[in-house]
Amino acid sequence: MIMKPEQEPSPQDLTREEDVTSLMISSKNEEEWNNNCDKIKAANNKDYPKFWYEKIVLSGLANKVQKSWEKK
C-alpha cells in the first residue's frame, strides 16, 4: 500500500479577494487586524489591493469585524 504524505494547508494568497477577506474576518482584535493589514500590504507592493475599499470598507466587513470585538 502506498502512503500519501499529509497535505499541508496551502498558504493564503494575499493578492486574492477570497484570501484577504478570510484573513480580515479572522482578526480577533485591533492589533491582529493591523498586523493582517500589514501582511496584505506587504503582499501587494506595500499598498492595499485594488479591491480593498469595495470588499472590506464599502461592504461593511471592517465595521462588522470591529463590532465583534466589542462583544467580548
Over residues 46-56, the pLDDT tens digits come to 999 999 999 99
Question: Quick check: pTM over 0.85?
Answer: no
Q: What is the pLDDT of residue 69?
A: 94
Q: What is the pLDDT of residue 34?
A: 98
Over residues 14-72, the pLDDT tens digits come to 999 999 999 999 999 999 999 999 999 999 999 999 999 999 999 999 999 999 998 75
Cα torsion 37, 38, 39, 45: sign: positive
Give the list of residues 6+ apart from residue 52 with CB closer than 8 angstroms, or none.
Answer: 20, 40
Q: Do residues 66 and 34 lie in contact, with contact meaning Cβ atoms separated by under 8 Å?
A: no
Q: What is the pLDDT of residue 30?
A: 97
Nine cell digits for residue 13: 494568497
Instruction: Parse the chain into domains and list their residue ranges.
Output: 17-70
